[in-house]
A = this chain, B = another copy of it.
């Protein structure tokens, strides 16, 4: 049962829009950056060239509380909140100077791509399942 994984990040100019704030489509990318950094911290990668297993995203949500602006430094905190035989669900909090900016969630599925066959959901590889203890005070899916 681990603490959330944390990543610090600065807003880039190309992430802003004509309203002067970060475009809302960047938040899923921020969440994914933190996800991939968390996997790397466990010695894992979400995308291994040549591997038959991939991790398509099947659901995503975001609630936006306050805007981010150019050069803002902010923190992304992510944790696994549910694990089933074939899927993981994350919860993500973005904050700036301790102030909540946005909250997100994402569900990913372990899928096997065999040439000539339709993709199919497969059990989480054991090395992945072993890494992602579900966060405390969260009922397992």
CB-based contact A29/B25 at 8 Å: yes
For A47, the closest partner residue in chain B by CB is B70
**Chain B hits for A67, CB < 8 A:** 56
Residues of B within 8 A of A45 (CB): 70-71
**Chain B CB within 8 A of A120 CB:** no
| Interface members, chain A 50-85 (any B CB < 8 Å) | 54, 56-64, 67, 69-71
A64 touches B71 (CB 8 A): no
Q: Mark A1-19, 1 if CB is under 8 A from B, else 0.
A: 0000000000011101111
Interface centre among A32, A60, A64 (most CB of B within 10 A): A60
Interface size on A, residues (CB 8 A): 37
- Please report the C-alpha to C-alpha distance between residue A23 and residue B18 in the assembled complex, in whole angstroms: 10
| Known A-B contacts A24-B60, A47-B18; A13 and B32 likewise in contact (beta carbons under 8 Å) | yes
In the bound complex, residues from chain B placing their C-beta under 8 Å from that of A28 are 24-25, 28
Cβ–Cβ contact A70 & B29, under 8 A: no
Bound complex: CA A56 to CA B70 (Å): 16
Question: Chain A residues in contact with chain B, CB under 8 A?
Answer: 12-14, 16-21, 23-26, 28-29, 32-33, 36, 40, 45-47, 49, 54, 56-64, 67, 69-71
